[in-house]
Amino acid sequence: MGQPSVAASGAAAPPKPEDPQRKAIPSVPLDALKEKFPEAIEEIAFFAGEVTARIKLARLVEIACFLKDNSRTKMDLLSDLSAVDYPKEPSRFEINYHVYSIPHRHRLRLKIRVAEGESVQTVSGVWATANWHEREAYDLFGITFAGHPDLTRILLPDDWKGHPLRKEYPLEGFPEQHPRYR
């Protein structure tokens, strides 16, 4: 216990071609994205009926606005925003935006990669609900969001040191930080 497992690497092993779960499926938002921003898409993945598009960090807000406002895609609900930490990779954080369209009933996972010290443009201007999700990512991962109206810690106390969901953060915390509880 206490030792973070950092064995994993974020880059997926090359999928076997016969894997039926990874078969490409038709997706309206992905097609719209491919038409409008062919140069901004870095990677496309399918798994178990889910569609993932990794996009360039710099184009995030532009693409988010397009997905929300375009009548074909109309991704009006930001279902979730969460981060994953891959400490061994050059851009260590990955942020997943799970967007959904209530009128069209389609889903898409947008993905960006961001290095430590780099900041991500906030999407709270596009989907207001991103506000707290981004604060949570800042709190638990230490990712900064440029243009965020109130980027403060949300779940942990304001004077907390460190970001617990980073892989190098021990499960039971740093001993010097709260010796009383160990």
Partner 1 sequence: MFHTEVLEVNMGPQHPATHGVLRVILSLDGETIVGCKPVIGYLHRGVEKLSEHKLYVMIPPLCDRLDYVGSASQNLGYIQAVEKLCGIEVPDRGQYIRVILAELNRISSHLVWLGTHGLDIGAMTVFFYTFREREMILDLFEAFCGARLTTNMFRFGGTLEDLPPGWIEGCRRFIDLLPSRIREYEGLLSQNRIWLERTKGVGVISAEEAVNWGLTGPCLRGSGVNFDVRKAMPYAAYERFQFDVPLGVNCDTYDRYLVRMEEMRQSARIIRQALDTLPGGEFRGKVPKKIKPPVAEVYHVIEGPRGEQGFYIKSDGTEKPYRVRFKSPSFVNLQALPVMSKGHLIADAVAIIGTLDIVLGDVDR
In whole angstroms, what is the distance from residue 69 CA to residue 48 CA?
27
Q: Which is nearer to partner 1, 62 or 76 (CB)?
A: 76
Note whether 55 and 30 are within 8 A (CB): no
Return the range that interacts with partner 1 (CB under 8 A); candidates 19-27, 34-42, 57-65, 115-123.
19-27
* Beta carbon of residue 98, minimum distance to partner 1 (angstroms, whole number): 5
User: Out of 30, 53, 60, 85, which residue is the one contacting partner 1 (CB under 8 A)?
Assistant: 85
* Beta carbon of residue 155, minimum distance to partner 1 (angstroms, whole number): 4
Cross-strand bridge partners of residue 109: 52, 98
Instruction: Give how many residues touch partner 1 by CB under 8 A.
Output: 44
Cross-strand bridge partners of residue 80: 98
User: Out of 91, 96, 119, 144, which residue is the one contacting partner 1 (CB under 8 A)?
Assistant: 96
Buried b (16+ CB within 10 A) or exposed e, 103-115: eeebbbbbbbbbe
Site string for partner 1, 33-72 (x = CB under 8 A): --------------xx-x-x--------------------
CB neighbour class for 1 (10 Å; exposed up to 12, middle 13-18, buried from 19): exposed
Using CB under 8 A as the binding rule, whether residue 26 contacts partner 1 is answered as no
* Beta carbon of residue 109, minimum distance to partner 1 (angstroms, whole number): 6
Where on the chain is the footprint of partner 1 (CB under 8 A)? 1, 4-5, 7-9, 12-13, 19, 21-22, 47-48, 50, 52, 76-80, 82, 84-85, 96, 98, 102, 105, 107, 109, 127-129, 131-132, 140, 153-157, 164-165, 169, 171
